[in-house]
Amino acid sequence: MRNDPTHSWQGIVWTFLVLGIPVAVAALLLAATGPVLSRVVTDALIKLTMVVGLYIFIGNSGIFSFGHAAFIVVGSYASAWMTIPPTFKKVILPGLPAFMQSIHLDPFTGGLVGVLLAVVLAFVIGLALMRLAGIAASIASFAFFSVIVVIYNNWTGWTKGTASLVGLPVYAGPKLALAAALIAMLLALLFQYSRYGLLLRATREDAVAARAAGVEVERMRLIAFVVSAAVVAAGGVLQGHFNGALTTTANVHLNLTFLILAMLVVGGMRSLAGAVIGVAILAFVAELLRQLERGWQIGDVTITAPSGLGQVGLGIVMLVVLISRPQGLTKGREIPMPGWLSRRERQGDANLIESTQNAR
């Protein structure tokens, strides 16, 4: 961990800037080229928000969650209920109770309601789920996701069931998505730097030893779970108001889960740099393959790749990266601070690290 800059506040600032500035510059430049790329960029930034949200829990606790898509579902539907204009809502969702019919909040407050609902849900579910560890926790989180999807799928009066819910005000553009992604990154860094983050990472390395040293493992996990659910739900809210439509189809959410987990793992699930790089690379590859599927022109001939190629390509890219670098592209490291920025800092750090290593 000698190169981990996130142990000092200077390092936090450094990491935020060194990751945030390229993301912001690239996003704004690409978005300025035209509506097509602008949409691609917005989509990637929303994914980045979700991946960073996942990272807050998975990266720090070391527990895989397959259930975070539930927070996307819960958050985005709640925001839809709050923000669809009442006149419209009466037509689309006649099954909604009267007091819900009349509610009409502005996008920000509506989104906040979505995030808050996800937070409450994460807290209640987390109280139970966080007692589990390892594979059991992953399976239980997946079971939780399935329960939520089945409920939303059959709760037709409120969600329109398997038919998709349309009519959400479309307000999410590249700038808003960028702001969300940057806030998510800052939040992740602050959490990582806080004592909760540190204690949680101690439980990740060795749960038994951390417990013996007095760390309340379940409580630390719960805190991270709730924060992470909030960020992921915010991503979900933005996605809903980016597409203008929502669905409860399990497969759509499973594919999304796969994609954002893949982004995290390919980049390296134990560093924020990994989360950012993973999103950048897989979003790029996915877009490239989507173009291929749509077809491209050579002279008079249009060549189209068979549908499914995009997913196969994505799967293969992931397999190759994982097999050649099981720890992800960044191997779980942050981008190191240059020496002239951290010299004074490093001295103290190095002594500390040396003494702990001697103690081992």
Partner 1 sequence: MDLLVQFIIDAVSVGGLYALTAIGIGLIFGVVGLVNFAYGDFVMIGAYTILLTIGFYWPVTILIAALVLIMVALAADFVAFRPVRLASPETLMIVSFALSYTIQYTYVMMFGSLARTVNFLPAMSTNLEIMGIRIAGVSILQIVATIVLTGALAAFIRFTRIGYQMRAVSENPTMARLVGVDINKVIAAAFIASALLAVTVSVLYVAQTGTMTPFLGLNLTIIGFVATVIGGMGSLVGCALGGFLVGFLTTLLQLALPADLQPFREAFVFGAVVLMLLLRPGGLIMLATARERI
Q: Which residues bind partner 1 (CB under 8 A)?
A: 62, 64, 128-129, 131-136, 138-140, 142-144, 146-147, 150-151, 153-154, 207-209, 251, 254, 258, 261-262, 265, 269, 306-312, 314-316, 318-319, 322-324, 326-327
Cβ at position 326, least distance to partner 1 in Å: 4
Nearer to partner 1, 87 or 307 (CB): 307
Cβ at position 149, least distance to partner 1 in Å: 9
Nearer to partner 1, 163 or 319 (CB): 319
Q: How far is CA 56 from CA 201, 226, 240, 272, in A?
A: 11, 10, 22, 9
Query: To which residue do tokens 């002279």 refer?
Result: 299
Nearer to partner 1, 91 or 208 (CB): 208
Q: At what angle do helices 9-32 and 35-61 cross, to 10 degrees?
A: 160
Nearer to partner 1, 32 or 143 (CB): 143
Nearer to partner 1, 101 or 138 (CB): 138
CA distance linking residue 144 with residue 127, whole number of Å: 13
Cβ at position 248, least distance to partner 1 in Å: 12
Cβ at position 93, least distance to partner 1 in Å: 19
CA distance linking residue 91 with residue 108, whole number of Å: 24
Nearer to partner 1, 16 or 144 (CB): 144
Cβ at position 201, least distance to partner 1 in Å: 15
CA distance linking residue 202 with residue 218, whole number of Å: 13
Length of the chain: 360
Torsion sign across C-alpha atoms 239, 243, 248, 253: negative
Cβ at position 58, least distance to partner 1 in Å: 9
Cβ at position 115, least distance to partner 1 in Å: 24
As beta bridge partners, residue 301 has: 298
Three-class secondary structure of residue 136 per DSSP:
helix
DSSP string, 31-60: HHT-HHHHHHHHHHHHHHHHHHHHHHHHHH
Q: Which of 335, 349, 341 is nearest to 15 (CA)?
A: 335
Nearer to partner 1, 17 or 135 (CB): 135
Cβ at position 133, least distance to partner 1 in Å: 8
Torsion of CA 342, 347, 353, 354, to 10 degrees: 150
Nearer to partner 1, 117 or 289 (CB): 289
CA distance linking residue 209 with residue 336, whole number of Å: 28
Cβ at position 44, least distance to partner 1 in Å: 20
Listed in sequence order, the DSSP H helices in the chain are 9-32, 35-61, 69-83, 86-92, 98-102, 107-129, 134-154, 156-159, 174-193, 195-205, 207-212, 217-243, 250-267, 272-294, 309-324, 339-359
Nearer to partner 1, 208 or 298 (CB): 208
